Structure 1
């Protein structure tokens, strides 16, 4: 049942009630919009039909007045324009519109409605996505991204013989104009689109169904066609960039959310962390909304555990998300995306690039305001799916107190000053710059002592030879296809065990390694694996080779954290307490410890049934030549 109500009437959270606004049709482009409120309970069966509106909030202070139930209500100009276009329909339609349907002056109601956001958009018959008023180029842009240019795929139109250079440039500009609309960049908008079971995109009076939205692959195909037709490379690069942070990210979030229900807890943890990745470049007016704005896309147990109140600081909100990820998803994937070694604010001091850490965020808490470091080893497994299991699935637990996270870890060694290699700033060196690329490799080989008289046949701590360990640290597993990107087209290179022997026997290491990165037999460019861009090799004081970030410092420690599939780099902050505290730098690859090798054949007690979590975490345990000890992250 729909009940007419007054604008100030309170919603009932117990009944999951929401306030709708009914917009009556009008044949005139009125300066004044009149509408009325009504109540709907999301528990009602059958649920009354309504449409949820998704639009970009504006930061401008200007507002305009509409009338709802005879009372004046201030809205942003963008919403006012959307409402006037929506009145052009032939029937009265009930809409849920956040700025209108939620009493913005009632903090308690706002928080209650945030918790219902997932239900509101999932239960809507349609999510109407308002991109804005039409422009001169928007009809063509809408036709291209909506697949309505002709019957079939939009790129088929562009393959026609009549596609002139002028028209190709017009197509590129139209696409860029539509994909640059503010809606694509808003974090709340990404959640609203992902939650909707059916959506329409609207620009002025032109619209298309979301099922017609072109995919990222189609956009790349369109860019390729426009390139052939003479569109300047600078324009196409800008179009691809705009498409990557608008269309690609928005559709990726929708695709990930659709996968969530079918996953086990570990799979849901992976998906939610990937959603967080996609949303770091999205905009919101309050950084706390980087958590609140995604509660609808999080697993239900996680969403219910977050205290969605703006009384808490940004640090408290980010910490709450991290701890509840551990608690409800039983995963340490949070360590993959945290750490002081991830991109942040930097400045140059005496010509040296220095990273500025956020003093308010613990190192183990993900900074949701910035993209994470784009590195995983090896790259063909996806961001959070890894073949590695450094802790060998042994039992793990944690304790959270006083902004510190206590775990247990296995110390591998530290990184001495003489054990740090040159930072690899680029993976592609054009002709004339090959010496720089080979210099990086040669410095790494000298660091690892594999280019000496024995040509790499010195023993490695884990077994085997240093040559093999060096190549695997650089390239990954030789038995896995290694994807290299040369000048844009991908080549697959498979290195076999015989290739290792050939490299070892060769007196010219750098040139021999380079041939596996060049395009088939051509020596016009020198390329090294893309997953070590901006990274450096290191050698621990115990002789292990590793691949870490550019922000490693001398005396950083290498640990296997119980519960984390990768090894991690930790930075000691003090050793005065019974338990040394560390700052998490980042995860890393260390050859010879990634597959649980240190646990092979060595008894591991773990936590007994009658032992408290605190006692277990504070206890040290001998594991062969290593010790499992308390690790306190601050």
Structure 2
């Protein structure tokens, strides 16, 4: 049942803001409140929420200025969703009336106590939102503000019967009981589980600012209506939810159990390990789905993490386009890496909105496109080293940061000749195979003497653990054994798809030797001979290898990828927007090869790529770094 407090709040909302606002003070005297309490660098305002004996009591707040980091200052920080900017009510601040969103007013009504003050920091009251100069300075301090707070109060909104039961369920799991106990309590509380799923789907969890506010907290509590629960208990329940083997079979269990487990994905961004906060590329990828009303806040909201202050200066007077360009260019220049550039290109909107149009090499940090970019993911994981450790050096002219051109160094390796979608399933694999001429000559330079089939197999599987020149003999042997099994599985899948499994051999229309090439005749004969031996003596082994191959293929295939072949005979894969005529390049500071599109004397950045035989800098060794380096202009 609703508590009396909940009913009263609901009644107030129905009555409208005119019953909360003093009719003799309809105006907003916001500037006067802040003029009386200016803040200096490293100072903040905190508010004391006066006691309220009834939910109907007017909200009274007193503001004061304190030095951030002063050990004698204790406060809780409020983390909440602002709500609709045009849905505001009046509260009293230092005796004056101040407009705040209804969402904040509701939170204050629930957080105040009947008999004592509550000391809080809430951004929309403690920062003069109408003064950009102050806002710039105060927003830069927000990471420290939340890190220093005694507790972060997470306000999810008002409650209902189900959410009341949900908060009780979370509190029942306090103290990190055995995982099986958590499962039993959830399974035994349908109403609480349904309510918890509803809480986890609330818009609060979609907002960008909450990432920093939660992850920097020493202690955090979730509030819904008049109930509260520790946030770390919610995190523990999320961990338990991810252990599929602990839960009833999805096919036979009630739908609401699956709905709750799926809803926990909505807080995944807020449960990352603290050590990951130092990995800027990872954090930007993890928060890409989060939303901000002001596009600049997609970066500013991370100022307390990742060393962001080194790369961007908070300035709400700058257009978001300039902020994004400045941040990307500064990060590339200071780190010597193009890791952020590798997340741009195809994921940016195809056409801009006037002043908001971005260069192809600058990521659109506003984007929350659902497609995952495995190329950017591998770049962030630093699995490959196509540029052999060479650093990016910004050769752009030193002038206005809004300039579209990024001048770097690298070399154009090849040109894409044909493209095919890299789709999953048997039909997808057949389509990929039909797109290529197996008799196409391979490049003369191939450090490991890959045959066509080996190179093609590595490419479509996105072989992220290939043989490197500095691998020891044991490691190299293990990798070659794994690759050989993948190759045999691919050969078996190819033979089955083409129907060449007769007793007379592989079949006349399809020649293994032609497909595998002639650069390593001994290896070709060995592979064919071993395949035919297994086909005759141990067909189940081939079936097993094929199963492994198909599983790996499907894990790395999908609608966002295409596979390509270059004029020089190289196999590669990239995003689905590539097309014939695009250039394959290696840029200093990029650990993946990249796809570029000619635009006059410059290039547009399309995306990262996997190209067999050059992922670990082999081409740099074979062809010589100095002879290949040239200026490359990106727009």
Answer whether TM exceeds 0.5 for this pair: yes
Within 1, Cα distance between the matches of 2:572 and 2:257?
38
Is there any run of 5+ residues in structure 2 with no aligned partner, and where?
1-31, 398-402, 468-479, 502-530, 532-538
Please say if 1:469 is aligned against 2:445: no
Q: Which moved more, 1:581-590 or 1:210-219?
A: 210-219
User: 1:176 Cα deviation (Å)?
Assistant: 1.8
Distance (whole Å) between structure 1 residues aligned to residue 434 and residue 229 of structure 2: 56
Matches within 5 A, 1:444-483: 444=435, 447=436, 449-450=437-438, 461-462=445-446, 463-477=449-463
SS in structure 2 at match of 1:415: strand
Query: How far did residue 129 of structure 1 move?
Result: 1.0
1:440 maps to which of 400, 411, 431: 431
Larger RCO: 1 or 2 (CA < 8 Å, sep 6+): 2
| Preserved CA contact (<8 Å) 2:416 2:564 | yes
In 2: Cα distance, 1:48 partner to 1:478 partner:
51
Question: Is the counterpart of residue 113 in structure 1 residue 119 in structure 2?
Answer: no
Question: Which of residues 344, 349, 354 in structure 2 aligns to 1:338?
Answer: 344
Deviations 1:96-124 (A, max 9, x none): 11111112222211111111111111111
How far did 1:158 drift? 4.2
3-state secondary structure, aligned to 1:420: strand
- Kept after mapping to 1: 8 A contact 2:489/2:545: no
- What residue in structure 2 maps to residue 291 of structure 1? 299
Q: 5+ unaligned residues in a row in structure 1: which ranges? A: 261-267, 345-354, 482-492, 575-579, 606-621
**Corresponding position of 2:566:** 540
| Preserved CA contact (<8 Å) 1:388 1:594 | yes
Name 1:408's counterpart in structure 2.
409
Is 1:208–2:244 an aligned residue pair?
no
Residue number in structure 2 paired with 1:508: 495
1:49-68 matched pairs, under 5 angstroms: 49-68=74-93
Asked whether 1:394 is paired with 2:408, we answer no
Give RMSD over aligned pairs. Answer: 3.6
Counterparts of 1:482-521 in structure 2, within 5 Å, are: 495-497=482-484, 500=487, 508=495, 510=497
How big is each residue's C-alpha offset from its partner over 1:373-420, in whole Å with a ceiling of 9 and x where there is no partner?
Answer: 5233698xx66113311111135412334221111112111112xx21
Matched, 1:277 2:285: yes
Contact 2:91–2:98 under 8 Å retained in 1: yes
The equivalent of 2:508 in structure 1 is none
Determine the C-alpha separation between the residues in 2 that align with 1:211 and 1:388.
36
Taking structure 1 as reference, are residues 120 and 515 closer, same or farther at Cα in structure 2, changes over 3 Å only?
A: farther
Alignment CA distance shift 1:498-1:318 (3 Å): closer
Contact 1:478 1:495 in 2 (8 A): no
Give distance in 2, aligned partners of 1:296 and 1:559: 36
Alignment correspondent of 1:220: 242
Q: Does the CA-based 8 Å contact 1:187-1:282 persist in structure 2?
A: yes
Counterpart of 2:39 in structure 1 is 12
Counterpart of 1:95? 120
Q: 2:376 & 2:211 partners in 1: Cα distance?
A: 29
Q: Distance in 2 between matches of 1:13 and 1:384?
A: 39
Deviations 1:301-330 (A, max 9, x none): x41552322221121111121112123333
Confirm or deny: 8 A CA contact 1:409 1:628 kept in the other structure: yes
Change (3 A) 1:628 1:63: same
For 1:497 and 1:457, how far apart are their aligned partners in 2?
A: 22
**Alpha-carbon separation, structure 1, partners of 2:155 and 2:175:** 23
String of CA shifts for 1:23-46, please: whole Å, max 9, x gaps: 1333322341112111110153x2
Distance 1:194 1:383, change over 3 A: farther
TM-score, normalised on structure 1? 0.76
Residue 12 of structure 2 is matched in structure 1 by: none
> Structure 1 residues 588 and 146, CA, compared in 2 at 3 Å: closer, same or farther?
farther
1:310 maps to 2:316: yes
Cα distance, 1:457–1:109 mapped onto 2, change above 3 Å: closer
Residue 597 (1) aligns with residue 618 (2)? yes
Per-residue CA shift, 1:46-100, capped at 9, x if unaligned?
2411111111101251211111111111111111111111112653222111111
8 Å Cα contact 2:187/2:257 also seen in 1: no
Taking structure 2 as the reference length, the TM-score comes to 0.76
Question: Deviations along 1:410-454, whole A, 9 cap, x unmatched?
Answer: 2111112xx212x134x3x4xxxx4x234224324xx1x33x6xx
Higher fraction of strand = 1
Is the alpha carbon distance of 1:333 and 1:522 closer, same or farther for their aligned partners in structure 2, counting shifts above 3 Å? Answer: closer
Partner residue in 2 for 1:349:
none
CA change 1:629–1:222 in 2 (3 A) is: closer
Corresponding position of 1:42: 68
Q: Counterpart in 2 of 1:567?
A: 593
Q: Secondary structure at the match of 2:223?
A: strand
What's the offset of the Cα at 1:13?
2.9
In the alignment, the residues of structure 1 paired with residue 108 and residue 306 of structure 2 have an alpha-carbon distance, to the nearest angstrom, of 30
